[in-house]
A and B are shown apart, each in its own frame.
Chain A
Amino acid sequence: MLIRLQQIIPTPLQEKQLAVDSDIWGKECLFSSGECIKITAASGRGKTTLAHFLIGLRADYSGTLTIQEKKLSNFSAAEMAIWRREQLGVVFQDLRLFPHLTIRENIELKTYLAPRHIGENTVEWMAEQLGIADLLNTQAGICSYGEQQRAAIIRALAQPFAWLLLDEPFSHLDKKNQQQAITLIQSVIAQRGAGLILLDLESDNHFSYHQSFQL
């Protein structure tokens, strides 16, 4: 599933001359199926803005963003729903879990929105891999931010997707938990032949990146 960005410049950043030294803003970029993409940027350069453009939450930009050569801004509500629940797994920077649902309910909500994509015990297995198996029946709101971040990663992996979009996904994980998460993500995207877009503050070697960009 091809993602093409052509001369995208966010409206709020247009007057800041940020496009001058960016690899993405105002340029043409092509993300091909199954590629691992790394986008690095300091705070305030628009990482989350770009993530929201890709998810379709915002469309306040100039230029064109296409999915399989169709403008994302022209997607109907139904097409947008399919894009989000069947083709794009997302870990939001601010996680966006329902605090009064349990970790399990937060994860399983995704499996109910789309035709079920994973096996019966996959959620338990993933939770074990990330060390939160004993928290599955705990309300998300009373878990630590690190635990919630791991739950958000499992939620993104539990749905069907062609692309996995991660917005600072390891910001509250220690080295050990970070490595466990990377291993799980690698195995799932390899199994599904999916692409990955990782937005983060620093350069890293978490994945074998096909393309790296400075925002």
Chain B
Amino acid sequence: MQALHLLMGKILHSRKGRLRAWMGTLGLGIAALLLLIAVQMQADFSELLEGKQNKEDNTQYLVINRQLNNNNLNAGGLREEELAALKKLPEVSAVGIMQPGYFKASLSSTSDRFPFYTDVSFETVSSDFLDEIPEHWTWQEKDDYVPIIVPSLYLDLYNFQFALAQQLPQLTPEVVKMIFFNIRIQGPKGELVLKGKVAGFSDRIQSMLVPQEFMQWCNARFAQGEKRNPSRILIKTKDATSPVLNQFLEKNQLQADKEKTRFSKYREIVNWIAGISGLSGLLMLVFAALVLSLFIQLNIVSKQDEIRLLIQLGASPQQMIGFLMKKFFPPNAIIVLIALGLVAILQYLLFGWLQKKTIGVSAWISPLTLITALLLILLMGVVNRIAIGKSVKENPTL
């Protein structure tokens, strides 16, 4: 068989077809390289945006409420179906209801030496969503005081604006936590004065929070009006910039912390660019497969006399197809493997370059790129087999 293929190779070998063969091979190589780069880019984008290496501390909490405009003022909070749909989003790992107090409340000083008074409102949320859980974060009727979590921002406002303007002493968080004050609760069913104390500060939630037990007790005793939908919720997400999540919010006229979701638009653009580069790579591949198929057929047509004589002398279609496959397929497969090797080198260089910028991508090509290369080789085999089979079987001497 080897001697026969050597002779057939000599019969079909000619100088005039060599340039065409090189051009066809080069075209195939460029197309394979483009496609594999596009696939690897997609894998790198995914790793950058969703990979563990870059997402270790990326769990974020977003406070979500309805976008207010002139048409939906006092229209109510988030509907049950919106909450159910939100829970189903893969980007959302947990949803916490921020339960408001439906009663009037105020804080005032217990001492005439440092008098203060302010009206307030409280909210509560499951402790799973707190950035810092105070030591005694619960409440019972017999307790001496009500623990409260306040935004860190409030203390900053006091220390760096109000205290300076009013010539009052600045206070550390520890000092604030030592101060007791009166909490006055008022509702249609009466009023009550309790002791309260700041138990902790939150960077995450811009609201005055009380334990859930206290909120339930107060709402049951002092709430005004009927029960309403929650006006704010808190979600836990590993990807605050997810275009899917942000499109959902936009569609349902909801809004979240814009600072945290700002990059959603950029990510969408990046996804589009990656998609377009993948699509153009695929189109290039289809084009290259077409050129390759035409090249093989042209090459065979240019050797028609020799092939015809081989068939007249008794070469079977299987012998011809076997030989022509052996002649054309391995170089094509090698081209794809070379393209894969180039992508692997480029990926390693990219890894080194991005590492200096503390951006983590894998040093190796992704399994998807490898699978694509194998599929490409398979596709080359099919294209070769069809083109050769067609050319041999169309030979008039058969």
Contact = CB atoms under 8 A, between A and B. Distances in A.
Interface of A: 55, 57, 77-78, 80-86, 96, 98, 100-101, 105, 108-110, 112-114, 159
Contacts of A96: 309, 312-313
B316 A77 contact: yes
Given A85-B315, A108-B7, 17 more contacts: A57-B312, A78-B316, A78-B318, A82-B314, A82-B316, A83-B314, A84-B314, A85-B316, A96-B309, A96-B312, A98-B11, A100-B10, A101-B10, A105-B7, A110-B314, A112-B3, A113-B313
Q: Which 4 A-B pairs have the closest CB atoms?
A: A85-B314, A81-B316, A84-B314, A112-B4
B311 interface: yes
B306 interface: yes
Contacts of B4: 109, 112-113
B58 to A, nearest CB: 64
A98 B309 contact: yes
Interface of B: 3-4, 7, 10-11, 306, 309, 311-319, 393, 397-398
Contacts of B314: 81-86, 110, 113-114, 159
Contacts of A159: 314
B344 to A, nearest CB: 41
Contacts of B7: 101, 105, 108-109, 112
Contacts of A84: 312-314
Contacts, number: 58
A165 to B, nearest CB: 12
Nearest to A112: B4
Contact of B311 (A81, A100, A109): A81
A114 B318 CA distance: 13
A159 B397 CA distance: 20
* Most chain B beta-carbon neighbours within 10 Å: one of A80, A82, A109: A109
Contacts of B319: 81, 113
Nearest to A55: B312
Contacts of A100: 10-11
Contacts of B316: 77-78, 81-82, 85
B315 A105 contact: no
A84 B310 CA distance: 10
A112 B318 CA distance: 14
B309 to A, nearest CB: 6
Given A84-B314, A101-B7, A101-B11, A77 B398 contact: yes
A80 B309 contact: no
Contacts of A81: 311, 314-317, 319
Given A98-B11, A101-B7, A105-B7, A80 B398 contact: yes
* Most chain B beta-carbon neighbours within 10 Å: one of A82, A101, A113: A113
Contacts of A110: 313-314
Contacts of A114: 314
* Most chain B beta-carbon neighbours within 10 Å: one of A78, A80, A110: A80
Nearest to A110: B313
Nearest to A86: B314
Nearest to A114: B314
A98 B316 CA distance: 18
Nearest to A75: B398
A203 B309 CA distance: 30
B312 A77 contact: no
A159 B4 CA distance: 14
25 contacts: A55-B312, A77-B317, A77-B393, A78-B316, A81-B311, A81-B316, A83-B314, A84-B313, A84-B314, A85-B313, A85-B316, A96-B309, A98-B11, A98-B309, A101-B7, A101-B10, A105-B7, A108-B3, A108-B7, A109-B4, A109-B7, A109-B313, A110-B314, A113-B315, A114-B314
A113 B3 CA distance: 10
B222 to A, nearest CB: 96
